Amino acid sequence: MDSHVIGVLGGGQLGRMLVEAANNLGIQVAVLDSENAPAKQINPSEKHVTGSFAKSSDVKQLAGKVDVITYEIEHVDTKVLEELEEEKPYVDGTKWSRIQPSWKTVRTIQDKFIQKQHYAKHGIPTAKAIAVGTSHPQGLKDIADQLEFPFMLKSRTEAYDGRGNYPVESVKDIEPALAALKDRPLYAEKWANFKMELAVMVIKTAQEDDQDSWEKNTLAYPTVETIHEDSICKLVYAPPRGISKQTTKAAQDLARQAVSSFLGTGVFGVELFLLEDNSLLVNEIAPRPHNSGHYTIEACHMSQYEAQIRAILPGLASRIPPGATDLTVKAALMLNILGGPQKDSHLLVAQAALDVPGAKVHLYGKGDGRPGRKMGHITITGSSISECEIKMHPLIQWVDAVRA
């Protein structure tokens, strides 16, 4: 299919599903992560590198073995990527950047405050954000005067699954919030009084950042509804429940416009807030496959993982046909399986899924579970959301029981 070798920074569940897609296409993937990381387990290769995506010497070692570098996580060392690009910008014999999407995109996104400033600069609606320059409580009191209570105190960097967020409801939360997030660079974000959280996976196929060409340079997957519990994604509904076609289309268009403002190709996960007046805000964007796009494996012509593989390779990116992102079913529902109190608690959920016809189980091979750790997911497709909900109901109960 394509003889270029892809190098992936990070080998967790997203890397593993990326490898599954690459295997089907006969495309080689080398992974940089710890030994026996989920993505390596299903992909014997002499090109894997044992180490960390945050360590420059390890990233360089991977770069020496592959043609194109991509990510399954945004918390990578972008300085070394910048150096690697200076040394050798393109895939041999092409004008195709060998780092996709661009390290510049990842650098902007990995600092959530800079990411917010990027949206403001590009006219993309997002919640107002103010940098927190001091850990003195008075600084946050002044910010509260501008944002009003409640607001969200967030770590600018290294955030995931809500670890890095602290809702500040009144003056009395200020000190505990600063204590909980101490030693991290912070910013404050206006509270978004959303009625629903939406997400859209977007494929970007052009290397340049050109917002005016978003209709040409991007493709959108269907808009989905995401339900978070304790700031961790729990359920994904495709399509969203009780939302007009006009709103789902507006979400896709906004997501595509936002993604077109970034450099490089690949898939991007766009998280959105739908407000009471049906207006939309971009919460954040991940420059990689995303939890809200797992459902595409069973429910769309082409999964988000196959899309990532195709979009980052010279010669394949321009050959994603319109319609490839369409649903092949009327509805899909995805449930995350998190770790529980025992190291194998999550397996109770996976085992319960054996009794549900059509429940597709994905276990990530992460070893021992811990409370809140993403260990797997289940997707059910059907002819309506309510059919999927009925089938998923006992599994949601298992998830809640494991969590309790």
- Give dist(CA 225, CA 159) in Å, integer: 21
Q: How far is CA 218 from CA 91, 177, 290, 307, in A?
A: 22, 39, 17, 12
State the nearest-atom distance from the C-beta of 356 to Mg ion, in Å: 28
| Spatial CB neighbours of 149, under 8 Å, sequence gap ≥ 6 | 168, 169, 170, 171, 191
Residues 215-234 close enough to bind ligand ATP by CB under 6 A: 228, 231
**Applying CB under 6 A, does 301 fall inside the site for ligand ATP?**
no
Q: Dig out the tokens for 185 from the structure.
A: 């660079």
**Considering only residues 33, 209, 271, 306, which one is a binding residue for ligand ATP as defined by CB under 6 A?**
271
Angle subtended by helix axes 304-311 and 13-25, to nearest 10 = 70
**Applying CB under 6 A, does 149 fall inside the site for ligand ATP?**
no
Binding mask 326-365 for ligand ATP (x = CB under 6 A): ----------------------------------------
**Considering only residues 247, 252, 265, 283, which one is a binding residue for ligand ATP as defined by CB under 6 A?**
283
- Give dist(CA 83, CA 60) in Å, integer: 9
Q: What is the dihedral of CA 297, 299, 300, 301, to 10 degrees?
A: 80
- Give dist(CA 24, CA 14) in Å, integer: 16
Give 241's Cβ-side CA count (13 Å radius): 15
- Which residue's CB comes closest to ligand ATP? 192
Identify which range of 165-173, 186-194, 242-250, 277-285 contacts Mg ion by CB under 5 A.
Answer: 277-285
State the nearest-atom distance from the C-beta of 160 to ligand ATP, in Å: 4
* SS3 state at 246: helix
**Applying CB under 6 A, does 272 fall inside the site for ligand ATP?**
no
State the nearest-atom distance from the C-beta of 66 to ligand ATP, in Å: 26
Identify which range of 131-139, 196-204, 264-272, 394-402 contacts Mg ion by CB under 5 A.
Answer: 264-272
Binding site for ligand ATP (CB under 6 A): 127, 152, 159-165, 189, 191-192, 197, 228, 231, 271, 283-284
Binding site for Mg ion (CB under 5 A): 271, 284
